[in-house]
Structure 1
């Protein structure tokens, strides 16, 4: 079943951009801004594990690689999670007047 997926990626300066770009091109990704692509991913089961394995087979993943996926689950909730890497301090930290809380990656 095809699922709508947005991928954001930060591969660092020396990351495997050629591998990522080839993977995105092969999945007919639509460009959505710097390092953001939209694809219709054909998944037969666990979307997150399938994406993770597919990307790992085609892109050289390092400890600096960060790939985040946004998708709708089977209950139609919008979710997001890191396939590789983890959350870092946001560049806008300290600019707002609202106290920071825990991040919610589910709507």
Structure 2
């Protein structure tokens, strides 16, 4: 009986921990929007014209996206269809959506 109760407590703690962690991860609905974020996210801004040397790999945390104050997405390069995930950028002051020409 005591052993069964310990297993139940361990499972409950594990489930609560998983729910807590999953609540802090940014899940993107649009794959192209996620690609834009991973390739261009810096500490305080996200500009798709300035790509990172290596795209972000792994988990994108909501708290990292809340720190961004400037977002710019070029729709010519990224075929974003759904910008609903912009909600993760809560402290953003400026958002630019553009379709920049391939010609200078």
TM-score using structure 1 length:
0.29
Q: Which has the larger radius of gyration?
A: 2
* Larger RCO (alpha carbons 8 Å, 6+ apart): 1
Decide which structure has greater strand share. Answer: 1
Decide which structure has greater helix share. Answer: 2
